[in-house]
Structures are given as C-alpha cells and as structure tokens.
Amino acid sequence: MTGLRRSFRSPPAPRLQVGPLDDAVARQTLHVYAANLAFIEALGRSYGFESLFYWQPNVFSKQNRSPGEQTAAAGAFLSAEVYDDIYRRLGQSEALNAHPRFRDISALFGDSEAPYYVDGTHLSEPGNRLVAKAMVEDVIALDLFPLITL
C-alpha cells in the first residue's frame, strides 16, 4: 500500500528556503519556551499538579537517518540549519539547563540507524518507547501516587 500511495502522490511542493535564523528570532524561540515553562509551573502551583519539560529529538538531530527519515528531512518545512541553530542555543542556555524540571533529550537517538520517525515530525513506536524510557524515572520520582502500594 505504501508503494502504491507513493506512486500516485504528486511531487512534493518546493521547500521554503529559510536561511540562517536572525539572532533575535532564535533567542526569542528559547525565550518563549522558557516563558511557557514558567506559565505551566504557575498553573501547577495554582491547581496542584507538577510538570516536567523535555526538549525532544528531531529528525535532524539524528546522525544516521533511515531512508524514510532522509526523505522526510528533505521535505521538511524548515532546514536542518534552522533546527541546529535553535538546538545549539538551547544547549548553551544556562537558565533552561539549570532548571530542575527541564531535560534536553535531543541526542537520545544518537547514531542509531533505526527508523524512529514515521514522517519528519511524528515518532514511531520504537521512537516513542525510547522517549518514554528517558522520561519514566523522572515521572516515578514525582511520587504522584503515594497512596498506591505495589
């Protein structure tokens, strides 16, 4: 079915050519993320929930992409350079990286050749499994269910 669908699809629209991000746009991207993090934490204090924040991998942060991932990356709306710029800046953000509830798991897939994306954005089951494994210890540490005994 996949092969048949591909043979009947029209060619992909040309990708929007986005050059290197203006420094202000890249800074603002991380500023908005940090503001959202603070907003969610304020809601948590008001409504009694705790939150965790993860900067997840993207198809470009994967060093060895499967053939399907290579196709998805080639058709992505933004270029690898745009993602790389923002992710590099995130790695340099002392405020975010020092935050106790924030984790950068963007390098999670490392140099694996396994297909972790079903398209340029959405994870496959194995990709979701690895993300869940990266998060599970943090979730358990929140001790959300103190009345439940196992």
pLDDT, tens only, 7-25: 566 555 555 555 566 778 8
Residue 10 DSSP code: P
Distance CA 145, CA 121 (A): 32
Angle CA 19–22–25, to nearest 5: 115
Asked whether the beta carbons of 9 and 75 are under 8 A apart, the reply is no
What are the boundaries of each domain within the chain? Answer: 17-141
Residue type at 147? Answer: L
pTM, rounded to two decimals: 0.76
Mean pLDDT, residues 127-138: 96
Q: Can you tell me which residue has the tokens 């439940």? A: 148
Predicted local distance difference test score (pLDDT) of residue 21: 64
Contacts 24+ apart (CB under 8 A), 108-114: 108/56, 108/57, 108/134, 109/57, 109/61, 109/62, 109/63, 110/62, 110/63, 111/63, 111/64, 112/62, 112/64, 113/64, 113/66, 114/66
pLDDT digits (tens, 9 = 90+) for 70-126: 888 888 877 788 888 889 999 999 989 999 999 999 999 988 999 999 888 899 999
Q: Among residues 93, 114, 117, which one has the least CA distance to residue 103?
A: 93
Both tokens assigned to 122: 């959405």
d(CA 73, CA 85): 16
